[in-house]
Amino acid sequence: MQYQSLIKKISKTILLASTAIALNTQAAIFITPKAPSINAAAYVVLDYNSGAIIASNNVDAKRAPASLTKLMTAYVVFQLIKDGRANLDDDVKISEKAWKTGGSKSFIEVGKTIKLETLLKGMIIQSGNDAAVALAEHIAGTEGTFTAYMNEYAQELGMLNTRFENASGLDYQDQHTSAADMAILAAATIRDFPEFYPWYKQKEFTYHDIKQRNRNKLLWSDNTVDGLKTGFTKKAGYNLVASANRMDMRLVSVVLGSGSTASRTEQTQKILDYGFRFFETIKISDVSKEVPISKSTNDTINVGLPGETYLTLARGQFKLSQQAIALNGELSAPIKQGDAVGHLIITFQGETLTKLPLIALEDAQEAGFFSRMIDNIKSIF
């Protein structure tokens, strides 16, 4: 009788084996200060792996994107290369429209034929508006048709407050984005195109004997920053999307509508430093535990997480947390691999930090009639 009671208790809550925590753990104090004041119309900093927003302001406000638009122009071209519909070695003929496009330039010449890879790098590193238009025309015939691709991918990525009307980012009547949407696009670029992402940290690029430097000043002042893009128009102000990787943690930041080149750099550095100093990314994987199961050919079944999970917590907090498995009542066969069976609950100082779903990692076949009958009798007692 005592044994059966103990089994029931264990089946509901099983503590994971972990390093013993001293009795004074609950006395640990974590002070996470408020995010610093940021001089910009809108901003956000988020954890790339977990997607958690660490700090933000006016995150969904619609703003002119300026040259941040080129992040989507590049994303579309990257995707078509991936799909086999374009190639880095493609010859791109430069139209008069591309050549005449104002603003920042890669100094391409009308009538010349240039490799698609060269145009991509000119657009990404030099922020060439002419290169952006040339790419759009090569991919879709016209820049207007190309923007249909841009808006379709924006919707697919969940960029709900974004509309593109050209490939370069020059101000247009109804072209807009938000800090949240640009963070989504930056994260997607890093995730979906790791082979192209290193171009965003290249400090300079030379075409037609003209050397131009990347406008992202953080590439010189912070060696953990490895992208992504700047932008400026009178309507937009000074924008900067950046990403940095420190201490096994990647953050993505967006600053929109800052007052100057120096300000957008300073404000971005400020929010990145805040995120890295006070937060950390925890990767949870390979959680597996044998738990009791009734009416099965086996006495136990392996349960665990469906895959890797990332959490963003105050730095140092996870080491002092407690983890427990809570099952959805008593488990009984039949159970199929992948069936939801409970949660992994992580707590700190009596408060639940997160609940992660647990699944069966294997099938549990139903036992024969007599075995099930014995289990039924046991459950009565």
Lookup result for tokens 């131009």: 212
Is 67 among the residues known to form the active site? yes
What is the rounded CA–CA span in Å between residue 284 and residue 274?
Answer: 24
Helix (H) or strand (E) holding 190: helix 179-192
CB pairs under 8 A, 24+ apart, for 262-269? 262/217, 263/39, 263/40, 263/238, 264/40, 264/230, 264/238, 264/239, 264/240, 265/217, 265/218, 265/221, 265/240, 267/38, 267/39, 267/40, 267/43, 268/218, 268/240, 268/242, 269/218, 269/221, 269/222
Catalytic residue among 67, 95, 104, 253: 67
- List CB contacts of 221: < 8 A, sequence separation 6 or more: 265, 269
Catalytic residue among 11, 56, 70, 121: 70
Catalytic residue among 95, 127, 243, 258: 127
User: Could you tell me which of 272, 273, 182, 274 has the C-alpha nearest to residue 230?
Assistant: 182
Show which residues are catalytic. Answer: 67, 70, 127
